[in-house]
Amino acid sequence: MPLPPPQKTGWPPFDAVAAIVDRLTSVMNSIGTVWILALMLLINSDVLGRAAFGTPIAGVPEMVSLSILGIVFLQLANTLRSGRLTRSDALLGLLRRRLPRLANAADAVFHVAGAGLFYVILTSFLPKFERSWQRDEFVGAVGNFTAPTWPINLIVLSGAGAVLITFLLNAVCLAVAAWRGPQTGVEAPQGRSDG
């Protein structure tokens, strides 16, 4: 399993901002986890209602499809910050063993590219959010079940923004680590403890 990016730069104002972002992404991750549990209860209740009483809960498929999108974007930034985002890092692993400064520099560049990608996602999704807000767009069937789409679109925007900021924070931490080189007497980050 790859190590998470360095979490501190040694510059207190930057590290304070990074700590705030870490807490925010942890809260977003926790909300996503609670949402998953609520969704599981809803799905099981729907299955039980269908099987036992022949009456499903209206709108479950719509709620599930919207929920999946919301949950992913709530949890993505924390996954990235803690180093658990799936990626191919065979080259980086090799570089880390032989040339750690180059590995950190390359990883910083990859994180800047990730920030660029999420900037594109953020700016591309903003008009969709504005349209869903202004037109009061919804999913479902009128008379049966309807749900507005703007709250999920707002979560996507917020999550994409958090991922963009996290990519940038990681890039700065990695660039600083590349600049300083291996620190003697400093323990390498081994992941985070949330408890």
pLDDT at 183: 60
Whole-number Å distance between alpha carbons of 56 and 47: 7
pLDDT at 190 over 50: no
In this prediction the pTM is 0.86
116's torsion region: left (phi>0), alpha (psi -120 to 50) or beta? alpha
Report the share of the chain in percent with pLDDT over 70: 90
For residue range 74-98, what is the model confidence (pLDDT) as tens digits? 999 999 999 888 888 888 889 889 9
β-pair partners for 139: 147
For residue range 101-130, what is the model confidence (pLDDT) as tens digits? 999 999 999 999 999 999 999 999 999 999
List alpha helices for the chain, DSSP H. Answer: 12-48, 60-81, 90-98, 100-135, 150-180
For residue range 142-160, what is the model confidence (pLDDT) as tens digits? 888 999 999 999 999 999 9
Closest of 112, 116, 29 to residue 78, by C-alpha: 29
pLDDT at 43: 96
Q: What is the mean pLDDT of the chain?
A: 89
Whole-number Å distance between alpha carbons of 34 and 67: 12
For residue range 68-80, what is the model confidence (pLDDT) as tens digits? 999 999 999 999 9
pLDDT at 1: 53
